[in-house]
Structure 1
Amino acid sequence: MSELEQILADIESSATTQAVRRSWNPGYQGEIDIRIAADGTWFHQGRRFKRDSMVKLFAGILRREDDAYFLVTPAEKLRIQVEDAPFVANLVECIEDKGQPAIVFTTNIGEKIVVDHEHPVRVDIDATTKEPRPYVRLREGLDALISRSAFYDLLNFAQETERDGVGYLSITS
């Protein structure tokens, strides 16, 4: 099994678990004092989560509906606060598989994302700073902010192309 095939198998296994969680649909029950900072750090009642295992557990039951974020279990649905994106993609690599490149991000919680039509990269422009804010779709409306270092690494995989006299950077995955 190639490295990319193993990554895709791991993602598919996670997607199966997510499909079960999608069927959970309790009514809205309120808010909980959990906040995800712009750098991907999780806080409860103002204190940073100390155990990564707790962050991963809660990340697995995180859901986005419109512009709101919720922790959803079979019995409860609690709103939390997210400053930007709930995750940060802090590593990127380009894996060649059967002559085709695949761009793979790793998030702050260890999840891997293969860039494709369902998991695109987009770049927003921050309204205040006018700086680029790059994101990659993780799953079901949840995005990961691409860290500055990962974004620069991603640009190393870009190819310059021209269309109708306009230059573009493109990435194939």
Structure 2
Amino acid sequence: MPYSPPPELASLSLAELAEQVAARKLPPVDQWSPQEIGDSEMRIAADGRWFHQGGEIRRPAMVRAFSSLLTRDEQGQHWMVTPFQKLSIEVEDAAFIATDMQVKLDAEGRAALAFRLNSDDLVVCGHDHPLRVAGTADVPAFYLAVRYGTEARLNRSTYGQLIEHALSLGEELVVESLGQRFALVPDA
């Protein structure tokens, strides 16, 4: 069955976005405790490209399938988890790249920041998916919590959209999403 990516983020309402997120059935990797531990011989480059044994994985459906199996432990190690194996995977920066952002309004009129990832996942920033800023004031790096400890780094155009939205609010560099406030300046 061929993979069909979800519609463009800008064309979705927040309710339609929630339906798209709910429709993606993810494996319950947090419930699996495989006994076999090994190395996947895979790497996710800082630019979001996936590699296996040095060769790039070019099929988006394969990347999407593998990305649904990712977790990150407390020590920062990324793993691909199946019911039978837990395989380490090298991640140069973040497991995902956020490639687009749109501001949506919820039923109460509150802003909701919706992000599309390079895996075509859709994530709405909020309590369960907070934004984190690292780096310096001169060279900030923005990250969005995805699932099971993994994060998405916002690419340049996406963090540009985020900063533009913050500036449009006329406040400091702070945004809100689903009632949560996120400062966009790294801690010194």
- Contact 1:160-1:170 within 8 A present in 2 as well: no
Matched, 1:32 2:36: no
Question: 131, 155, 158: which is aligned to 2:139?
Answer: 131
CA distance in structure 2 between the partners assigned to 1:58 and 1:154 by the alignment:
28
| Alpha-carbon distance, 1:28 to partner | 4.6
Matched, 1:88 2:92: no
Matched, 1:51 2:59: yes
CA distance in structure 2 between the partners assigned to 1:139 and 1:17 by the alignment:
10
Q: TM-score under structure 1 normalisation? A: 0.86
- Contact 1:137-1:143 within 8 A present in 2 as well: yes
Give the alignment's Cα RMSD to 1 decimal: 1.9
- Contact 2:17-2:122 within 8 A present in 1 as well: yes
Report what 1:8 is aligned to: 18
SS of 2:18's equivalent in the other structure is: helix
Change over 3 Å in CA distance of 1:157–1:130 after alignment to 2: closer
Q: Where in structure 1 do 4 or more consecutive aligned residues deviate above 6 Å?
A: none
Change over 3 Å in CA distance of 1:84–1:28 after alignment to 2: farther
| Alpha-carbon distance, 1:13 to partner | 3.9
Matched, 1:64 2:72: yes
Report what 1:118 is aligned to: 128
Q: TM-score under structure 2 normalisation? A: 0.79
Please tell me the residue identity of whatever aligns with 2:134.
D
Question: 139, 148, 152: which is aligned to 1:140?
Answer: 148
Q: Which runs of 5+ in 2 are unaligned?
A: 1-11, 178-188
Q: Which runs of 5+ in 1 are unaligned?
A: 162-167
Matched, 1:23 2:31: yes
| Alpha-carbon distance, 1:170 to partner | 1.4
1:107-142 deviation per Cα after TM superposition (whole angstroms, max 9, x unaligned): 00111111111111111016xx96111101111211
Task: Show the 5 A alignment for 1:88-107.
Answer: 88-98=97-107, 99-107=109-117
Question: 153, 156, 159: which is aligned to 2:161?
Answer: 153
CA distance in structure 1 between the partners assigned to 2:170 and 2:35 by the alignment:
49
Matched, 1:77 2:86: yes
CA distance in structure 2 between the partners assigned to 1:103 and 1:131 by the alignment:
22
CA distance in structure 1 between the partners assigned to 2:148 and 2:87 by the alignment:
18
1:62-89 deviation per Cα after TM superposition (whole angstroms, max 9, x unaligned): 1111211111111111111000001000
**What is the number of equivalent residue pairs in this alignment?**
162
